[in-house]
């Protein structure tokens, strides 16, 4: 592709007078083009909701890691969110601290996308320590990180799950029980039996940022966890 063609496609992608399909077609035509002009235009296009997904994929395709890392400091949280998720697709060990730090972004969309970025890593030895460090904090982001560690069947998730049973947040307790149901052992039974005894009633829902969590019986959840452990 000639330089003139590249510049013409960039102009089409940026032309707000064109419709969504036309602009995204131009963006798609630039996929795999790694000239400085093309890469710079894709970084700029992350700020444009119309072509943001296509621009992000283009940056990933040409491994524009510097530009994606730069986007983590963008004032637009949606730009930060797509950038951190795409960085995880590279599965580079040196990017783990960068992605993990974004799980503490004040915007929940960024934080959850950072966990999605970590979920791209398949090497448990590398990623699980980061996931569990995040999981210790509980909450929606911690729960997502713990679920990923559980999906990797990593026994290092067990101590974190046990610690979550001591949290006051109902959802944190339930997240811990999900792990123990699959990875826990007989040593967990006394703690779970105490929950059965102490929480025999129904626990009121708690606010988690998206409205109220429906009322949940911790006692019933603990009984289910006990049964799962005893059946193994």
Residue-wise DSSP of 179-228: HHHHH--GGGHHHHHHHHHHT-SPBPP-B-SSSBPPPB-HHHHHHHHHHH
Map out the domains of the chain as residue ranges: 1-62, 76-121
Q: What is the reported pLDDT for 210?
A: 47
Quick one: pLDDT band at residue 202, thresholds 50, 70, 90? very low
Alpha-helical segments (H) within 94-169: 96-101, 108-119, 124-135, 139-151, 157-164
Q: What is the phi/psi pair of residue 226, to 5°?
A: -60, -45
Read off the pLDDT of each residue in 62-84 and give the average, rounded to a whole number: 97
Q: What is the reported pLDDT for 22?
A: 97
Q: Which long-range contacts (CB under 8 A, 24 or more apart) does 68-75 make?
A: 69/95, 69/98, 70/43, 71/43, 71/46, 72/98, 72/102, 74/46, 74/47
81-127 confidence digits (pLDDT tens): 999 999 999 999 999 999 999 999 999 999 999 999 999 999 999 99
Q: Which residue has the higher pLDDT, 200 or 10?
A: 10
Strand partners, 216: 203
Which whole-number Å values give the CA distances from 226 to 69, 93, 142, in the listed order? 44, 37, 23
25-42 confidence digits (pLDDT tens): 999 999 999 999 999 999
Task: Please tell me the pTM assigned to this model.
Answer: 0.85
121-167 confidence digits (pLDDT tens): 999 999 999 999 999 999 999 999 999 999 999 999 999 999 999 99
Quick one: pLDDT band at residue 232, thresholds 50, 70, 90? confident
Q: What is the reported pLDDT for 217?
A: 83
């Amino acid at each position: 592709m000639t330089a003139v063609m590249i510049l013409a496609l960039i102009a089409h992608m940026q032309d707000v007078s064109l419709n969504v399909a036309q602009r995204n077609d131009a963006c798609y035509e630039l996929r795999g083009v790694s000239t400085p002009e093309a890469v710079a235009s894709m970084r700029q296009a992350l700020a444009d909701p119309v072509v943001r997904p296509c621009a992000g994929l283009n940056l990933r395709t040409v491994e524009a890691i510097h530009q994606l890392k730069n986007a983590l400091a963008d004032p637009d949280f949606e730009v930060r969110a797509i950038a951190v998720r795409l960085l995880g697709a590279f599965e580079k060990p040196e990017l783990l601290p960068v992605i993990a730090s974004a799980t503490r972004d004040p915007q929940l969309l960024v934080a959850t996308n950072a966990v999605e970025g970590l979920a791209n890593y398949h090497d448990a030895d590398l990623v699980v320590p980061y996931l569990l460090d995040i999981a210790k904090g509980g909450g929606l982001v911690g729960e997502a990180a713990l679920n990923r560690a559980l999906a990797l069947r990593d026994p290092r998730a067990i101590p974190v799950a046990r610690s979550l049973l001591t949290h006051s947040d109902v959802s944190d307790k339930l997240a811990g029980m999900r792990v123990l149901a699959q990875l826990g052992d007989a040593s967990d039974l006394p703690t779970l039996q105490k929950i059965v005894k102490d929480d025999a009633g129904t626990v009121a829902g708690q606010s988690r940022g998206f409205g109220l969590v429906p009322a949940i019986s911790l006692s019933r959840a603990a009984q289910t966890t006990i049964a799962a452990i005893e059946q193994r």
